[in-house]
Amino acid sequence: MKAEVAQQILLLELAEVDAELSRLAHRVSHLPEQQRFDQLQADQRGAADRLAVVTIALEDLDAQIGRLESEVDAVRQREDRDRRLLDSGSVNPKQLEELQHELGTLERRQASLEDSLLEVMERREQLAAEQATEHASVEQLGQELVVAGQARDEATAEIEQTRSGRDSRRAELVARLDAELVKLYDRQRTTSGIGAGRLAGGRCGACRIELDRGELARITAASDDEVLRCTECGAILLRVHGRGE
Residue numbers at the binding site for Zn ion (CB under 5 A): 204, 206-207, 230, 232-233, 235
Provide the minimum distance between the beta carbon of 30 and Zn ion in the complex, in angstroms, as a whole number: 26
Measured CA to CA in angstroms, residue 50 lies from 79, 123, 132, 146 at distances of: 43, 16, 11, 21
d(Cα 37, Cα 151) in Å, to the nearest integer? 9
> C-beta of 25: minimal distance to Zn ion in Å?
22
Comparison of 206 and 228: residue with beta carbon closer to Zn ion = 206
- 200 touches 212 (CB < 8 A): no
Helices (H), 89-210: 93-176, 179-192
Q: Shortest approach of Zn ion to residue 176 CB, angstroms?
A: 25
Q: Between residues 173 and 236, which has the closer beta carbon with respect to Zn ion?
A: 236
Q: Which is nearer to Zn ion, 123 or 239 (CB)?
A: 239
30 sits in the region (left: phi over 0; alpha: psi -120 to 50; else beta) called alpha
Q: How far is the CB of 36 from Zn ion (least distance, A)?
A: 38
Residue closer to Zn ion by CB (options 65, 207) is 207
**How far, in Å, CA of 155 to CA of 163, rounded?**
12
| Residue nearer to Zn ion on the CB measure, 140 or 231 | 231
Cβ-proximal residues to 115 (8 Å cutoff; 6+ apart), any chain: none
Give the C-alpha separation, 168 to 157, whole Å. Answer: 16
CB of 199 to Zn ion, least distance (A): 9
Which CB sits closer to Zn ion, 142 or 242?
242
* Closest distance of CB 195 from Zn ion, Å: 11
Instruction: Please state, in angstroms and as integers, the Cα–Cα distance from residue 165 to each residue in 16, 132, 161, 211, following that order.
Output: 14, 50, 6, 35
Rounded CA-CA distance 62/124 in Å is 8
Question: To 10 degrees, the CA torsion angle through 186, 191, 195, 201?
Answer: -170
